[in-house]
Amino acid sequence: MREEDIEKLRGVVRDCVSKHLYSSAIFFADKVAASTNDPADIYMQAQALFLGRHYRRAFHLLNASKIVLRDLRFRYLAAKCLEELKEWDQCLSMLGEAKVDEHGNVSDTKDSNIMYLDKDGEDREINISSAICFLRGKAHEALENRAQARLWYKAAIKADPLCYEALECLIENYMLTCEEEANLISSLQFGSDDGWLSTFYSCLIKKYEKENVVEAKFRDLENSSCKIDQSNPSFLRTLKTNTDLLACKAEYYHQCGEYQKCFELTSVLLEKDHFHLKSTLVHLAAALELGHSNELYLMACNLAKDYPQKALSWFAVGCYYYCIKKYDQSRRYFSKATSLDGTFAPAWIGYGNAFAAKEEGDQAMSAYRTAARLFPG
């Protein structure tokens, strides 16, 4: 096959992936890799297999290549296959041996000869080491080693502040105390153009500072956005009304006890984006505080229909029953939420509250102690 024909097929593979035609992508990538035996083409074939959910076959292809333990892309994708197959110990083994300290600093023990063969890397690609640290964290969390997971998530966000998923896991799973969150954000090395990101991250963490300090952070973020692209004022409007930013504000109002303001803001947010789950959680909490049982009933019905496997859905049902003072039913659904996702902290608190409402103190304290042990934050 001529080189120009091969290059044309590579373009076909990329286009098939962009159009989610994964079987077609796999078919043509296989022909390219067979013709060239080039590591980059083998990797492209493995990517197509991975996206087509052929995880075992993709892993076999990567593992059979002679550079799987020397090229970080190959190793990382092979580990991602093992993640999808839920083979967590093998996933960690594939990622290699490394140690991490309490501050998120990593020391590799045997990876001094590793290469990273990326021909088409973009200027702002996320550091592969950060992605590997994040995957280590996910594997440890799946193995219920939350202490190690916390350290690897910290290592991931420190290796590259653009690895938002690592910060999200730390915050959403309450893995850090308020002080630890603030220290982590202050230790991150942001790029010269990422001032807005630093401010955004500081808005995401717990907001227990003085009111004027928190409000100033929100104002700074909205104002700094205009400096990113003076020629494009639409970006400013987009950021000022950004759902994630407004969800942070709603969370802040809830933490301040401003439940009506919180409820009004989340109502607007959910009208704009019905499926923004972070806003949904805060909306449920505010509705419960305000005693809006009708709203809780409608939310619970919709969530149970759209997301029957999510803990949030059954937490919503528990909130409805708690609101109408049917505490036994409430406890049953909070318990179901914790069984679906043991790391869903609000359900543990709701579970304890349902016992407390029935003056069953020992069981309530047991639920609260579990929450305190699982979620340092």
Give the model's pLDDT for residue 213.
76
d(CA 227, CA 323): 46
Q: For residue 348, what are the contacts with CB-CB under 8 A and spacing of at least 6? A: 334, 338, 367, 368, 370, 371, 374, 375
Provide the β-strand partners of residue 106.
100
pTM here is: 0.88
3-state class (DSSP) for residue 93: helix
Give the model's pLDDT for residue 120.
44
Helix axes 178-187, 195-204, angle to 10 degrees: 170
Using CA atoms of 251, 253, 258, 261 in order, give the dihedral in degrees to the nearest 10: -90
Q: For residue 226, what are the contacts with CB-CB under 8 A and spacing of at least 6? A: 233, 236
User: What tens-digit pLDDT sequence spans the chain (377 residues)?
Assistant: 788 999 999 999 999 999 999 999 999 999 999 999 999 999 999 999 999 999 999 999 999 988 888 899 999 999 999 999 999 999 999 999 899 998 888 887 555 445 554 444 445 688 999 999 999 999 999 999 999 999 999 999 999 999 999 999 999 999 999 899 999 999 999 888 888 888 889 888 877 777 777 788 887 776 665 544 555 555 545 567 888 888 999 999 998 899 999 999 999 999 999 889 999 999 999 999 999 999 999 999 999 999 999 999 999 999 999 999 999 999 999 999 999 999 999 999 999 999 999 999 999 999 999 999 999 88
Q: For residue 286, what are the contacts with CB-CB under 8 A and spacing of at least 6? A: 250, 253, 254, 259, 260, 262, 263, 266
Q: For residue 138, what are the contacts with CB-CB under 8 A and spacing of at least 6? A: 83, 149, 169
Q: In terms of Cα–Cα distance, which of 229, 310, 328, 320 is closest to 283?
A: 320
3-state class (DSSP) for residue 77: helix
3-state class (DSSP) for residue 365: helix
Contact in structure between 166 and 134 (CB atoms under 8 Å): yes
Residue-range domain boundaries for the chain: 1-96
- Helix, strand, coil % (nearest 5) of the chain? 70, 0, 25
Give the model's pLDDT for residue 194.
83
Superfamily of domain 1-96: Tetratricopeptide repeat domain (1.25.40.10)
Q: What is the separation, in whole angstroms, between the first and last Cα of the chain?
A: 59
Using CA atoms of 68, 70, 75, 76 in order, give the dihedral in degrees to the nearest 10: -150
Q: In terms of Cα–Cα distance, which of 207, 214, 292, 290 is closest to 255?
A: 207
d(CA 28, CA 19): 14
